[in-house]
């Protein structure tokens, strides 16, 4: 670590956090924070990063155009666990180093998923809306306990969700491109195909990264396999689900409900989807727990010292 290195912090939430600001400034003498309140992109992002040796990025899109304009930038510390906003091939071509730690916000994301499942099974958003509109009636919901949960992607967050589900006695189905036989055996998990998981699960939840192999993975055809009583949760990445097909399935009650924290375009513009009574939307808050913010921020600070080219 060189205390004289100039560091630019693109992330808005990192820039607003007094603990992370103090910890970073204790290590580096020259730090520029994003005080605009906006997510920086394109030429504005380049202008912000110019003249800096190191950067901390979050949802900013780091591509060849950006990197080509920043020959002095040596390393990026990634704030958060998703890498879909960073062109890793471009990082390698330009010789930039990347400091990234997986799983640092896993409990924040898995707890939100659990909250979504219970809220939708008990019709919490719809019941709240009715009370605010002056209607007082008891909507009949169901328990999470004993229901079959299908987890698509059993990485850090998927595994953490499995642990959180243990008191509920839920049979758990998993679909993943990797095999975790010891973990599956420990928690009596059944590894199945995507089609079987969608057909059998009462709650389907996504926990995969966004890349060329997962983009649009839940097509209209696959959504049609889900039970009309089932619930779909996406607290992973926007772009994994055909949102237009999901809207049709929800409107026609071919899927009971869905809860999304992430969208293909954020903020989402499909007001018809957002206003459905059986749909819950939150503004990408999966990592927005105080504890997770500190963990992600400290991992990003540590990542500024990496010697690894991705």
Let me know if 92 is a catalytic residue: no
From edge to edge, which strands make up the β-sheet containing 54-57? Answer: 30-33, 6-9, 54-57, 75-78, 97-99
Q: Out of 237, 243, 254, 272, which one is annotated catalytic?
A: 237
Query: Three-state SS for 256?
Result: coil
Sign of CA dihedral 7, 267, 259, 86: negative
Strand-pair partners of 260: 234, 281
User: Distance between CA atoms of 128 and 50, rounded to whole angstroms?
Assistant: 48
Q: Out of 72, 266, 290, 291, which one is annotated catalytic?
A: 266
User: Distance between CA atoms of 65 and 128, rounded to whole angstroms?
Assistant: 46
Identify the H or E element spanning 125.
Answer: helix 124-132
- Residue 241 per-residue DSSP state: B
Let me know if 284 is a catalytic residue: yes
Q: Out of 21, 94, 284, 298, which one is annotated catalytic?
A: 284
Catalytic residues: 237, 266, 284
């Amino acid at each position: 670590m060189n205390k004289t290195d100039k560091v630019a912090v693109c992330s808005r939430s990192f820039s607003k956090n007094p603990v992370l600001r103090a910890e970073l400034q204790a290590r580096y003498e020259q730090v520029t924070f994003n005080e605009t309140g906006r997510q920086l992109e394109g030429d504005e992002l380049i202008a912000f990063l110019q003249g800096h040796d190191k950067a901390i990025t979050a949802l900013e899109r780091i591509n060849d155009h950006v990197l080509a304009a920043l020959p002095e930038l040596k390393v990026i510390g990634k704030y958060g666990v998703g890498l879909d906003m960073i062109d890793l091939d471009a990082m390698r071509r330009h010789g930039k180093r990347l400091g990234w730690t997986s799983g640092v916000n896993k409990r924040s994301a898995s707890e939100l998923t659990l909250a979504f499942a219970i809220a939708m099974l008990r019709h919490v958003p719809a019941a709240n809306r009715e009370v605010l509109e002056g209607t007082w009636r008891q909507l009949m919901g169901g328990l999470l306990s004993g229901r079959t949960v299908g987890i698509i992607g059993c990485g850090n967050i998927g595994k953490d969700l499995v642990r959180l589900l243990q008191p509920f006695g839920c049979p758990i189905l998993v679909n993943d491109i990797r095999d975790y036989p010891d973990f599956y055996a420990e928690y009596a998990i059944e590894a199945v195909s995507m089609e079987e998981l969608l057909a059998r699960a009462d709650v389907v939840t996504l926990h995969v990264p966004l890349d060329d192999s997962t983009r649009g993975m839940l097509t209209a055809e696959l959504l049609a396999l889900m039970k009309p009583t089932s619930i779909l949760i996406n607290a992973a990445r926007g772009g994994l689900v055909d949102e237009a097909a999901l809207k049709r399935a929800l409107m026609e009650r071919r899927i009971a409900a869905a809860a999304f924290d992430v969208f293909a375009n954020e903020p989402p513009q499909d007001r018809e989807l957002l206003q459905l009574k059986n749909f819950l939307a939150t503004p990408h808050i999966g990592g927005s727990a105080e504890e997770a913010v500190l963990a992600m921020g400290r991992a990003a600070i540590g990542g500024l010292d990496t010697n690894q080219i991705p």
